[in-house]
A and B are shown apart, each in its own frame.
Chain A
Amino acid sequence: MIKNFLKGISAHIILLLVCVLSLLPFLWLLSTALKGPGENIFQYPPVFIPQDFTLENFKEVLRLVPIVGYVINSFIVAFFTVILNLIFSAMAAYPLARMEFAGKKIAFFAILATIMVPFQAIMLPVYIITLKLNLVDSYGALAGYIGMILPFAVNAFGIFLLRQAFLSIPKELEESAVVDGCNSWQIFFRILLPMIKPSLAVLAIFTFIGSWGEFLWPSIVLTNEKLFTLPVGINNLQGAFSADYRLIAAGSMISIVPIVIFFVSLQKYFISGANEGAVKG
C-alpha cells in the first residue's frame, strides 16, 4: 500500500516538474512583458512577480506593430491552406482507396515519394517557380496570399491519412449507392465524405497548426510588411525592439493567444489525432 502511494506521489512530482518546465519559458516572457520601465528586467537575482506591474508594454507594442494584421494574415493563410488540403487530399485519396485504374501504382508511389523529400531541399526552385508565376506580394496582396498558400495546398500525409479512412468504410455502402443510381461524385460527396469526418477534423487541425506556425516559406516570399504572418512579424520584433525585451516579450505573448485558445478548445482532437501517427511534415 505505502509503496504504491509513494509511487503515485513520485509520478505526480515528476509530471508536475515537467509541466512547470513546459510553462517556464512562457511565464518568464509574460513576467518580463508585465514589468514597467521603473523595473530593471536584468535585475539580479531575477524577480518573477513584476514589482512595477503594467499593461503598457502590450498597448505600446500593439500601437507600434500591426500584430492584429499579422493575426489576420496568419488566419487567412492557415484557413485556406486547410480548406484546400481537405478538398484536394480527399479527392486524391478516394480513387487511391476505392477505384481500380491504370497507373494507380504509379500515382500511389509518386505521392509516397513526396514524403521523402524535405521542403528545405527544394525550396529554392519552389521560390523560383513562385516568382515566375507572379505569386509574390509585389504583385499585390492576393498574389502574395496565394503564393504563401499554394505550395502547401496539398500534402502526401493528408492523402494517406484520408486514404486509410476511406479504406475503413465497408464496400457494401458504396455498392448499395451504385444500385440506387449514384455516380462517383455523388458517392464521394454525399456518402463517403461525411463518413470520414473524424479524419478530416484531424487533418484540418494539424494542417492549421502547421500552417499557423510556418516560418521558413513566408520569410522567403514575403517582402511587404502588410502581409507578414505572425511568425515572420514576431521574429521581426527582435530587430525592431532590440533595445527593449519588454516589448518583444509582450508581442510574443499576444501572438500565442489565438493558438492557445484554438488548442484548448479542440484538445480532444489533439489527443485522438496522435493515434493517426505523424501527420505533420
Chain B
Amino acid sequence: MFRLTPYLFLIPAFVLLGVFFFVPFVQTIHLSFFDYSKDIYNPQFASWANYIYLIKNPQFLKTILNTFYFLILCVPFLVIFPLFLAVLLNTKIRGKTLYKLVIYLPVVVSIVVVAIAFKWLYAPEGLFNYFLDILHIKPIGWLSDPKFAMISVALVTIFKGVGYYMMIYLAALMGVPKDLYDAADVDGASSWQKHMNVTVPHIMPTIALVSTISSISALKVFVEIYVMTRGGPLDSTKTIVYYIYERAFENLDLGIASAAAVILLVVVMAFSLINIFVFERKKYGL
C-alpha cells in the first residue's frame, strides 16, 4: 500500500535543503566553469580555465598552504589539551561543575567578541607584550608581523575550541567501564599506566572524532581572520574561505570564487567521509 504520510513529513526539510543546499551545491560547480571577470552580466563558458588559473596562481597556493599551516597549529593542541583537561575533571575533584562552566564559557561567546578581545590583548602596547616583557622577551607584532600573525589567529581558535572538545571527551570518559580501572588497581597499575592502557584505548574513537571535526572546522576558518587581520599582513593569514569571500563578495569574480569553493568542498568532503563512515557510524545509524 502506498502511503503519502512519510513524504509529507519530509517535505518541509527537503524543500529547504533543496533551495538552500542542493541547488546552490550544483550551482557552485556550474559557476566554476564560467568566466565572470570580463562582464559579470554576460559570463562566458570557460571550461577548466578557472581551475587552471587557481593552480597556477601563487596567491591561491599560498592560501592553501596557509590553511594547512593553520590546521597544523590548531588541531594537535585541540586534540590533546582538552583530553588532558577532561581526564583531570573526570575524577571526584571539588568544584568540577564550576571549572567546566568557566572553561566552556568561550564556546558560547560569539567569535566576533572573542576576536575583538584578543585584538586588544595583541595590541603593540597590550597585555601580551607586557607579559613577554616580564619574561625579558622583546615585544612581538602579534598581528602585524607576517611570521606571527597566523599563530596569533590560531591561538584565538584554540581559545574558543578547548571547552567544546573537552565536553566531548568528558562524555566519552563517562562511558569507560569502572571495573576496568578496578582491575588495573588490583594489578597495581600507576595512574599513568591506567591512563595509557585503559583510558586512551577506550576513547580512541573519540580522539579520532575530535581530530576530524577540529580539522574540518580549521579548514573553514573565517571569522577570526575577518575580524582581526583581513587576511594580512602580506596575505600571511589569508585562508581558503577568506579567499573565496574576497573573490566572491569584494571582487565579484564569481567564477574564480566558485572554483576555489569546489576545491574547498573536495578537501572538506574527504575529511567528512572519513568522519561519517568510520568514526560516527553509530550516530548516523550506518
A interface residue numbers (CB < 8 A to B):
7-8, 11-12, 14-15, 18-19, 21-26, 28-29, 32, 42, 44-46, 87-89, 91-92, 94-96, 99, 101-102, 104, 107, 110-112, 114-118, 120-129, 133, 150-151, 153-154, 156, 159-160, 163-164, 167, 184-185, 188, 209, 212-213, 215-216, 219-220, 230-232, 234-235, 237-238, 245, 248-249, 252, 255-256, 259-260, 262-264, 267, 270-271, 273-275, 277-278
Contacts and interface: CB of A to CB of B under 8 A. Distances in A.
A21 B156 CA distance: 12
A interface: dominant SS: helix
B127 A46 contact: yes
12 contacts: A12-B95, A15-B103, A25-B159, A29-B120, A46-B130, A104-B6, A110-B22, A118-B265, A120-B241, A121-B265, A159-B13, A235-B226
A114 B285 CA distance: 16
B190 to A, nearest CB: 11
B137 interface: no
Contacts of B16: 88, 150-151, 153-154
Given A99-B6, A124-B257, A256-B109, A220 B249 contact: yes
Nearest to A220: B249
B106 interface: yes
B42 interface: no
Contact of A22 (B6, B130, B163): B163
A124 B117 contact: no
A3 to B, nearest CB: 10
A215 B265 contact: no
Contact of A126 (B20, B103, B108): B20
Contact of A215 (B21, B223, B268, B276): B223
Contacts of A122: 21, 24-25, 27-28, 261, 265
B interface: dominant SS: helix
Interface of B: 2-3, 5-7, 9-10, 12-14, 16-17, 19-25, 27-28, 31, 85, 88-89, 91, 93-95, 97, 99-114, 116-118, 120-121, 123, 125-127, 130, 133, 159, 162-163, 167-168, 170-171, 174, 191, 209, 213, 216, 219-220, 222-223, 226-227, 241, 244-245, 248-249, 254, 257-258, 261-262, 264-265, 268-269, 272-273, 276, 280, 283-285
A153 B21 CA distance: 12
Contact of A252 (B19, B117, B269): B117
B262 A121 contact: yes
Given A46-B127, A95-B10, A260-B108, A114 B103 contact: no
A248 B276 CA distance: 41
Contacts of A160: 283-285
B116 A234 contact: yes
A272 B202 CA distance: 20
Given A46-B130, A107-B14, A112-B276, A125 B113 contact: no
Given A95-B6, A117-B269, A120-B244, A275 B88 contact: no
Contact of A259 (B110, B117, B254): B110
A231 B19 CA distance: 26
Contacts of A94: 9
B120 A116 contact: no
B285 A167 contact: yes
B116 A238 contact: yes
Nearest to B260: A121
Given A118-B268, A256-B113, A151 B10 contact: no
A263 B107 CA distance: 10
B109 A259 contact: yes
Contacts of A102: 2
B20 to A, nearest CB: 4
Contacts of A110: 14, 17, 22
The 10 closest A-B pairs by CB, nearest first: A274-B167, A125-B24, A95-B6, A92-B13, A25-B117, A125-B27, A116-B272, A213-B110, A122-B24, A101-B6
Given A95-B10, A125-B23, 10 more contacts: A42-B125, A46-B130, A96-B10, A101-B6, A107-B14, A118-B265, A121-B261, A124-B244, A230-B110, A278-B209
A164 B285 CA distance: 8
Contacts of A167: 285
Contacts of A159: 13
Contacts of B102: 19, 22-23
A119 B268 CA distance: 11
A34 to B, nearest CB: 14
B199 to A, nearest CB: 15
A164 B283 contact: yes
Contact of B85 (A18, A28, A156): A18
A95 B31 contact: no
